[in-house]
Structures are given as structure tokens and as C-alpha cells.
Amino acid sequence: MTLRPQADKRLLWFALLALPLLIARWATVHAQSSPEQLTVYSPQTSYSVSLLDLQGRSYIGIVDLLEPLGSVDARPDGKKYKVRFTPPGGRTVEAQFNDDKEKAKVLGETLKLPSNFFLQNGRGYVPLSSAAEIVGKLLAKPVQLHPAARRLFIGETPMRFSLDLDKSNPPKLVISFPAPVNPSIATEPGRVRFTFRREPVVSNGQDSVSFDDPVITGANFAEHDGLAELDVMATEPLVPSFADGGRSIILSALPPPPQVTTVPVPQLQLPAQIMTPQPKPPAGPRFLVLIDPAHGGSDSGATITPSLVEKDVALALARRVQRELTAKGIAAGMLRNSDIAISLDQRAVSVNAARPALYITLHAANTGRGVHVFTSMLPAANLSRQGFLPWDSAQAAFLDLSGVVAGSVAAELETRKLPNTTLVAPLRPMNNIAAPAIAVEIAPPDDKVENIASAEYQEQVAQAIAAGIAAVRSKLPEVRP
């Protein structure tokens, strides 16, 4: 085939234009692909180190690996690479590697690496599979490498968890850890996934567990890519909450929505041949109010009187609000139902994972009179409620609905002649909540501060809150779990 000279020119121009585009595309793709990393867990810290692929094997920089564990002095000396390492409070130990050689010396002992040591740009790289042995000798501690998952555990760091299913109605799964954890939590249809990035959580011996329960059916543990994941399978939405200072995570099924009608459903007698079990329909949208009694555990909140603290008043009021909502046919869950500490971030994570139709946080104070109803102080933003929302301003997308609920609750308080004010407030963790959210702070009803704990007063406030929510229920979107 021959081309005319003009066509040749056009082809050349096209090639010249296309080449930079292709280079840009190649660079973009390669810039976006993150290198593989090893996660190292030591008693003091956990950190990640990038891995290098050399001749089809994973290698790790010896200085990158050792630096967070102590003082490192490493220098190439011709073909040799000498490393002096001093752990905190320990004595200095030495290792010597040889470029392009398998033989190394660690603490004077000869060590045969599984493949050659490499020097690249003045930095020394050892095969990943030898990392546990080298670090173990230098630190004089047992070190375990999970090579497929790319996780390295120094000393007694591996953290085994236990699962304890409480089959009461609704069922609860308690996941216990020997130390506090703070995983990221994601809920998907049929499961809740906990991802442990910084915690050295390892298998408890059984990677897959089945439960003899119709709601919480099982759990799977897996580790890969420098992290661990625990999936809990369920046929109904589960609400995670933290307890025991973050050492336990409690997954609770929501209580069934209360029946407001008692009309008996006629039972059809069907011929035996067509009485086949029907597949369970997928969970539809539901209306859940999540109540968060503020503070708890070592965080007592405000001291109302010398013998009465905010955390107890908030919990008592929360239980009343839950009862009142249930009586109105509204499903209501509690973020804490006992005296446990939950951090502000843990509260926001648990609420967002549960995807409620409304979040209400309850507080108490001895300043002022009556009831203060708050919405977030964030400026309103025209954000889509679907997809990802910024953590620090997630509430901005729901401010209009939050305002509707606050107004309705205030109107019900007014109807009951309870003094009230409605304001915006810079209250944590409201800004992080991706759902309509209000805060209610009760103050004493009169000059006697101790009357804040009066059953009659709290009942009136709880009824007003529940009535206010019920009045605007149709305006709040139900949420698919």
C-alpha cells in the first residue's frame, strides 16, 4: 500500500499529537497505581513500608523497615552495606549485607537470604520473606510474617478476637478484643464489614463461623493487602456500637417495628403441594430513629448536682424517648444503653453505619431553664445526600430536614408549656452525621436544679420529642439499610 505525500504528512501530525496524549495517559495510570505495602505492628506503633518488585520478588528497604523501631545508621561501603541498629534503651547491634549476594551477617552470624540482597541508589533492599528473621534477630524478639497478607507482627502484638452471640430477641453479637480498636465500619446489604488497618487483629483460629440464628448467620475473617477484615453476615440490618472503652463492638439487630394495628390476618389454608417456602424479600426502606445519650463511662459530662451527672440524666431521658417512640410505632435504637464510654468519632461512625432516618443526641445541663433544641451550626450546603460526603461537614446536606424536626419538637414543647429555645450549636459529633440530626439539652424546669431528674418533667419532655418526630415522620425519607 502506498500513501500520497499529503496523507503521509497528516499521519505524521496525528502521530505527533497522539504521542503526548499516550504518554500522559501512561503516566496517569502508573501514578495512580499505589505500590504494595507491608504493614508492621510493633508494641509501640504500627506503620506501613512500601515494597519494591525486583526480578519478580517483593523486596523491602531495610532502613525503612527498621527506622520506626529505633535508631538506624546504614551506609554502603563499596559492595557492602553496613547497618547499625539501636533499639530504644537497648545496645547497638550490627548487620552486614553484600550487593547481589545471598549471604549476610546479622549479629555476627551468617544468614542465607532466600534471594540476593540489592543496593539501589545507595539504599539496601532485602527480600520480604527474610524480613521476619532479620528484624527478629536485631530486636531479639519473636517476629511473625504473614507474607500473603503482607503483615509483620513484632513481639506479642497479634490480637485475637472472640465472638459471643446472644440469641435473645433481638439478637446481639459481641466481638471482644484484648485492646481498644477503632476499625472503619461499612454496612452493605446482608453484612457489616469491619476493616482493621492499624490494629494487629489476627484470626482466632476459625476464619469462618456459622451461627445457629435466623438474623446473625455467621462471620468471616480474612487478611490481605496489609489489613484485616471481619465480615458479619445478617439477614436484617445491624447497628454497631462500641463498649468497654473500645475493647468490644456490639452488633445489635434492630427491635422489630412495633405493631400499631391489631387486626388479625386471616390464615389461608393452602393445598400441601403449593406450600413451598418463599424466598425472603429483600429488606425494604425502614424508618429508624437512633438515640444517642451523650457522654458515658469516664466522661460524666456536666455535674448537675454533686450527686447527679449529665451522663445519667441523658441515659434516663433516652430510655423514656425510646419508649415513647416505640409506643407511636416508630423503631428506635440506642447508641448506648449502659454506662459505657464512646468517643465522639466512634459515635459518628456507628450512626452513619446504621443509616438512621433521624439521629437525636440528648444532653443535660444545670444552666438555664427548660429545653434547648439544637441543629448543627454548619452553613447550609447544596450537597447531594447520595454517595460520599465530607466527614467534617456531612450534616450540611441534611440541615433542612434537621431544621424541620427541631421546629416540630419545639412546637410540641410549646404545646406542653415547657420553656424552650431553638438554636444552632457547634456540637460534636453532629457535623459528622449523614442523616437529619438534632440535639436536645434539658435544663432544670424551675429554680430547683434537682428537678431535672423528676420523672414527671422527663416524661413530658420525652413525650414532646416523640410527638415532634412523629408529626414530621412523613417528611423524613425512610432509608434502605
Partner 1 sequence: MTRRILIMFAILAVVAVALGFYALHLKRKVAREEQAATPLAAGVPAGNGPPEPVTLYVANDSDGTLRKTQLSVSLPVERSERARAVLRILMAQYLNSGSPHPVGDKSDVRQVYLMNDGTAIVDTNSAFADAHPSGVLAEELTVASLVATLNANDDKITRVKILVDGQERDTLAGHADLRRFYEAGNIGQVVKDMQ
Task: List interacting residues with partner 1 (CB under 8 A).
Answer: 295, 299, 301-303, 310, 344, 363, 365-369, 372, 374, 377, 379, 392, 421, 423-428, 431, 439, 441, 443
Beta carbon of residue 464, minimum distance to partner 1 (angstroms, whole number): 18
Cα 267 to the center of its chain, rounded Å: 44
Q: What are phi and psi of 105, to 5 degrees?
A: -125, 125
Q: Nearer to partner 1 by C-beta: 136 or 419?
A: 419
Question: Rounded to the nearest whole angstrom, what is the least distance from the CB of residue 430 to partner 1 in the complex?
Answer: 9
Distance CA 126, CA 130 (A): 7
Q: How far is the CB of 320 from partner 1 (least distance, A)?
A: 19
Nearest approach, Cβ of residue 420 and partner 1 (Å): 10
Which cell numbers in the block locate residue 330?
416508630
The minimum distance between CB 29 and partner 1, in angstroms, equals: 37
Closest to 206 in 3D by CA, of 190, 218, 217, 196: 218
Residue indicated by cell numbers 499505589: 34
Query: Cα(148)–Cα(225) distance, rounded to whole angstroms?
Result: 8
User: Of 115, 119, 129, 122, which Cα lies nearest the Cα of 98?
Assistant: 119
> Can the peptide bond before residue 170 be classed as cis, meaning omega within 30 degrees of 0?
yes
- For partner 1, give the closer residue by CB, 202 or 434: 434
d(CA 30, CA 299): 48
- H-run or E-run covering 453: none
What is the nearest approach in angstroms of partner 1 to the Cβ of residue 446? 12
Q: Which amino acid is at 441?
A: E
How far apart CA 231 and CA 208 sit, in angstroms, is 9
Residue 140 or 423 with smaller CB distance to partner 1: 423
Which one, 364 or 462, has the nearer CB to partner 1? 364
Task: Considering the complex, state which of residue 221 and residue 374 has its C-beta at the smaller distance from partner 1.
Answer: 374
The string of DSSP letters for 351-398 reads: HHHH--SEEEEEEE-SSSSSEEEEEE-SPP----SSS---GGGGGGGG
Radius of gyration of the chain (CA): 30
3-state secondary structure 5-32: HHHHHHHHHHHHHHHHHHHHHHHHHHHH
- The residue (of 145 and 427) whose beta carbon lies closer to partner 1 is 427
User: Dihedral (C-alpha) 225, 227, 230, 231: value to the nearest 10 degrees?
Assistant: -40
From the list 413, 375, 402, the residue with the least C-alpha distance to 475 is: 402
Nearer Cβ to partner 1 (239/418):
418
Residue with cell 549479629: 107
H or E stretch at 326: helix 310-327
How do strand 303-305 and strand 308-309 relate by DSSP bridges? Answer: antiparallel
Angle between helices 455-471 and 310-327 (to 10 degrees): 50
CB 187 within 8 A of CB 237: yes
Q: Which is nearer to partner 1, 162 or 367 (CB)?
A: 367
Report the residue number, 119 or 377, with the smaller CB distance to partner 1. 377
Nearer to partner 1, 74 or 373 (CB): 373
Which is nearer to partner 1, 288 or 427 (by Cβ)? 427
Spatial separation of the C-alpha atoms in residues 156 and 361, rounded to whole Å? 40
Cell numbers representing residue 433 in the block? 452525621
Q: How far is the CB of 370 from partner 1 (least distance, A)?
A: 9
**In the bound complex, what is the minimum distance in angstroms from residue 180's beta carbon to partner 1?**
17
* Vertex 106: Cα angle to 86 and 69 (nearest 5): 30
Shortest CB 120 distance to partner 1, Å: 41
- Residue closer to partner 1, measured from CB, 106 or 291: 291
Nearest approach, Cβ of residue 340 and partner 1 (Å): 16
The minimum distance between CB 302 and partner 1, in angstroms, equals 4
Cβ 424 to partner 1 shortest distance, Å: 6
Closest CA to 419 of 445, 438, 441, 440: 445
Place of cell 500520497: 4
